[in-house]
Chain A
Amino acid sequence: MSPGWSARRVAARLFAIAAWIAPAGVACAAEIPLSERRSGYEQMSSDLKAMQDEDTSNPGMLWVLDGEALWNRKTGEANRACADCHGAAHESMKGVVARYPAFDSKRSMPVDLEGRINICRTEHQKAPALAFESKELLSLAAFVAQQSRGTPIESNDERLESFIEAGRKLFNQRQGQLDLACAQCHDDNSGRKLAGIPMPQAHPTGYPVYRLEWQSLGSLQRRLRNCMIGMRAETYAYGSPEYVALQAFLMWRARGMLMESPAVRP
């Protein structure tokens, strides 16, 4: 499935919503009350739920298995594996991804999971950074994220506040040729249908996610780009601080919800 094709389809769908939202003027997003938040999982068909629930049928597990092999493989000039510092991932990485993006005091800014993996690679393994959306990076991210499956999302680091605020601003900011804000679909109209497809509340509980439309695993950044292309907005470059701020906001917005990586989504 070509990216152009799916982007056009999303754009067509969003155009339909823009036509009836736009006259409302300013985006007047009402936040979803904590008790009414739902994972996108709950909007899926029973077949898709079953696909996610069982490891043998969840294609995301193929990346998890690859990631486990990479975790134990020595690499870079330091000739060190992730496991040489972090030990067994099911202990050292348990619940970690439920707290990401996390504040990095050396950089005075938050880093997301993919960013952290690449920092580890370049600084500690002395290996080249992995390309965004490469099989290796997604595999490692999936393997690490899977260790947090079932853990409630935590977002209570005070140092993240200004970044969460920046993310909230982006989420509520109208953008692109369709002049839409994320919040218009995912806060104001979630649960309603857009061209027959239920709109999710956009909680990042299962990333990296196996998306049937992609026929592959993909990161939260890829998903955010997808929505922006659909809004006919200019996307940010992979790894840009805007994506990290949006992720920090989305994780704060989903605080307390359970991680389900690697999730399956249509």
Chain B
Amino acid sequence: MPRAMINVPAKAKRGEVIPIKTLISHVMESGFRHSSTGQVFPRDIITGFVATYNGEEVFRATLFPAIAANPFFTFHTVAVESGTIEFEWTGDNGFSGIEQAKILVE
């Protein structure tokens, strides 16, 4: 499992706009670099990121080779109900990472 960090407020008021931040470890090898002997380093990147809030998709991103190593995402969503926000990263060579965070909405 790749190392990831999630920042979701533990508590929020109903209807409040909350910031969410995620960071995941990944080399994001672009596929355009080559070694000193001319051998191309094959592409190895994260290609997709999805955040779901109690099963409903709230954020989605598609990633491309120009994105730096260890991609960081920050976005906002509305705190509608208590539950779980799940984050999923997918990528080349079967890369997959899943993280969850609980949120209490009052």
Q: Beyond A57-B21, A212-B68, is A62–B6 a contact (Cβ under 8 Å)?
A: no
- Closest chain-B Cβ to A152's Cβ sits at a distance in Å of 28
Across the interface, which residues of A come within 8 angstroms of B6, CB to CB? 56
Tell me if A95 is interfacial: C-beta within 8 Å of chain B.
no
Checking B3, B69, B72 against A65 with a beta-carbon cut-off of 8 angstroms, the contacting residue is B3
A28-58 interface code vs B (CB 8 A; 1 in, 0 out): 0000000000000000000000010011111
Looking at the assembled complex, report how far the CB atom of B38 sits from the nearest CB atom of chain A, in whole angstroms. Answer: 12
Q: Mark B29-50, 1 if CB is under 8 A from A, else 0.
A: 0000110100000000000000
Q: Return chain A residues, CB-CB under 8 Å to B33.
A: 1-2
Give the chain B neighbours of A54 by CB distance below 8 A.
Answer: 7, 21
Q: Is the CB of A55 within 8 A of B5?
A: yes
A/B pair count, beta carbons within 8 Å? 41
Residues of B within 8 A of A154 (CB): none
- Which B positions have Cβ atoms within 8 angstroms of A? 3, 5-7, 21-23, 25, 27-28, 33-34, 36, 68-70, 72, 74
A31–B23 CA distance with the chains assembled, in angstroms: 40
By a CB distance below 8 angstroms, the chain B residues around A250 are none
Q: How far is the CB of B63 from chain A (nearest CB, A)?
A: 15
Say how far B101's CB is from chain A's closest CB, in angstroms: 11
Quick one: CB contact mask for A96-140 with B, threshold 8 Å, 1 for yes?
Answer: 000000000000000000000000000000000000000000000
With beta carbons under 8 angstroms apart, the residue of A51, A56, A215 that contacts B69 is A215
Given contacts A56-B21, A216-B69, contact A62 B3 (CB under 8 A): yes
A204 within 8 A of B: no
Q: How many residues of A contact B (CB 8 A)?
A: 17
B residues near A51, Cβ cutoff 8 Å: 72
Measured CB to CB, the closest approach of chain B to A212, in angstroms, equals 7
Known contacts A2-B33, A62-B3, A66-B3, A57 near B72 by CB under 8 Å: yes
- The reply on A167 being an interface residue by CB < 8 A is no
Is A61's beta carbon under 8 Å from chain B?
A: yes
Say if the beta carbon of A196 comes within 8 Å of chain B.
Answer: no
Q: B28 — which chain A residues lie within 8 A by C-beta?
A: 215
- Which one of B3, B6, B33 has the greatest number of beta carbons of chain A within 10 Å? B3
> Which residues from B are CB-within-8-Å of A212?
68
A4 at the interface (CB under 8 A from B): yes
Nearest Cβ on chain B to A120's Cβ, whole angstroms: 23
**A59 contacts the other chain (Cβ, under 8 Å)?**
yes
Between-chain CB contacts (< 8 Å), 16 pairs:
A2-B34, A54-B7, A54-B21, A56-B5, A56-B7, A57-B21, A57-B72, A57-B74, A58-B23, A59-B70, A59-B72, A61-B5, A65-B5, A215-B28, A215-B68, A215-B70
In the bound complex, CA of A159 to CA of B21 (Å): 47
A57-B21, A215-B28, A216-B69 are contacts. A62–B5 as well, Cβ < 8 Å?
A: yes
